[in-house]
Amino acid sequence: MSKLYFTYSAMNAGKSAILLQAAYNYGERGMSVMLWTSGHHGSENAETGKIESRIGLEAEAHLFRSETDLYSAISKRAENAPLHAIFVDEAQFLNEDQVWQLARVGDEMRLPVLCYGLRTDFQGELFEGAAALLAIADDLREARTICHCGRKATMTARLDENGNAIREGDQVSVAKGIYVSLCRQHWNEKVRGVTG
């Protein structure tokens, strides 16, 4: 039970909703959880933010940034009150050290750590956190969504206001409404201009 889990997918597969439902189930059984999400969306001084799903579910969460020592923060919380599980949304934004810190939480504190995030960015490249999780997580799970053609979407494209693929830019953009999930074939056509 004290494993490091990684649930990954393309955009809009419902990862945050799955996370919030699982955390709710723990609470319903009288168990305490600690929720984390990326500080990319919060103000620089904020310590808490929200995990929000597209279907309207939300919960307050601690914010992690690149300098956050997750093992220390979780250990401190566990000293003050019972803790039964850790949930991390937007896990692609973790750095490699933080993924190893979460593995220590599972190994040494014997707590399940459930991470949810994207596998690749809009250019088809692995995020640092996703790469580390794919390498060391005990359990990998794929949340699925579909492309407009009906096939499984495995890729995420970033589009401009005219629906054209953005091929360059920062890996992280927190603007909403500019991402679309596609199967590999349609991502290849849209982003790389490759037709089969």
Position 193, amino acid:
G
Are 126 and 117 spatial neighbours (Cβ–Cβ below 8 Å)? no
- 60 tagged catalytic: no
**Nearest residue to 156 (alpha-carbon basis) of 100, 107, 118, 117:** 118
Which string of DSSP letters, residue by residue, matches 19-80?
HHHHHHHHHHTT--EEEEEETTSS-TT-SEEEEE-TTS-EEEEEEE-TT--HHHHHHHHHHH
CA distances to 47, 65, 127, 132 from 135, rounded to whole Å, are 29, 21, 12, 5
SS3 123: coil
Angstrom distance (rounded) from CA 176 to CA 188: 22
Are 137 and 162 spatial neighbours (Cβ–Cβ below 8 Å)? no
Would you tell me the crossing angle of helices 96-108 and 70-80 to the nearest 10 degrees?
30
Give the active site residue among 44, 90, 96, 168. 90
Catalytic residue positions? 90
